[in-house]
Structure 1
Amino acid sequence: MAASTEHASPGSSSSTPLPPPILTLIKVIIRPLHPSDATMMTKHANDPDISKGMRNTFPNPYSLEQAKDFLNNIGLKETHPSSSKPNAKPILKNYALCRRSDGAYMGGIGLMPMADVEARTFETGYWIGKEFWGNGYMTEALRAFTLWAFRTFPDLVRVEASVFEGNDGSVRVLKRAGFQAEGVRRKAIWKRGELLDKMYFSMLREECDGLHNYDTSDVHS
């Protein structure tokens, strides 16, 4: 059963309707975040194997209060205008990844618009709970989310992502989603007492239009 506006997240007692998804895919639903996501967000994010690949603003341990704080102050509020035109529609930056079969919250995906001379570049970031690894959820989500970003933001030219050394799973996701490796900042990361390289990947608008092996027949945006 796909997530809809008629039920709350599994594991939550909230009766507040969920927002409609921005994308309904074969395996994954991507929708705006909801206050009821806090419990499952805490469960999946409170894992050192998740936080080791993230910036230190993604804490470990990850408490319920931290999840609520993120939702209330960032996840449910931060937006970016869809274009540079006056009165452009505000678009949320952060979204929930949910399993289509039962609506279960699995993780998050979002966009961080760059500024100044890089204003036509967005950075994407994502994470997914360990119990969902190895099922193709993240690759499907990233492909579709990147396509959605280019469709939603007409001024957008480039989507980029960065990965810490050793995060081989995320590298595979990016490559399978059609991102191109660009380069490495050597020993740019200090994480858990270790110096790590930081790898960069990107996709340009003209590259997204020609994604291989991507069936849009089941994508609704």
Structure 2
Amino acid sequence: MLDDRNIPHRVHIVGAGGAGMSGLAKLLSQLGHDVSGSDVKPGYMLDTLRDVDVDVWVGHRPDRIADVDLVIASSAVPDSDPELRAARTSGIDVWRRPTLLSALSSRQTTIGFAGTHGKTTSTALAVTAMRGSGKDPTFLVGGEMVGMNTGASLGSEDLFLLEADEAFGTFRHLDLDAILVTNIESDHLDHYGTVAALEDAFAQVA
């Protein structure tokens, strides 16, 4: 099972309405953490978190995070976000999404699925195959699994299957035992600058 001993108990997630962040919120809740989440706009993903006992709200509520141990923000959330500023002012640790993924992937066998196209589908296919063969992996997919109504679930085995996203250099922070790369095309050049730099990032991870 996923080992979370290096993650504080009370966690607030900023940007919890995104597919990737909502999945992480679900995993932390299933692990027994006291999880809350916020996003600047309502949405389906935010609503699904209420079903797994995550306290969520829309908008900025810096007054509601005073008692948390850790704030985790999507890489897309600016440093000027009121909840992030309140956390730092109060001395609360602030992590970005890659740091949490690093913490989760560092203590169990982790297989990542990367590529410009097809990484969500490939991750979902691997999860389906594993579950069909009687395995029970933990998984994190950047979308909802067909027939499961979720993109994340805590498994009982020492195996973590996750979508290894290249955006913001996220996959560089993962502790992977294996990786499948579907393809590489020009993308996220606002972060990498050139296709050559993007290809080099994939080469370093693989």
Superposed pair shares fold, TM > 0.5: no
Q: Which has the higher contact order (CA 8 A, sep 6+)?
A: 2
Kindly indicate which of the two structures has a greater share of residues assigned to helix.
2
**TM-score, normalised to structure 1's length?**
0.30
Kindly indicate which of the two structures has a greater share of residues assigned to strand.
1
**TM-score, normalised to structure 2's length?**
0.31
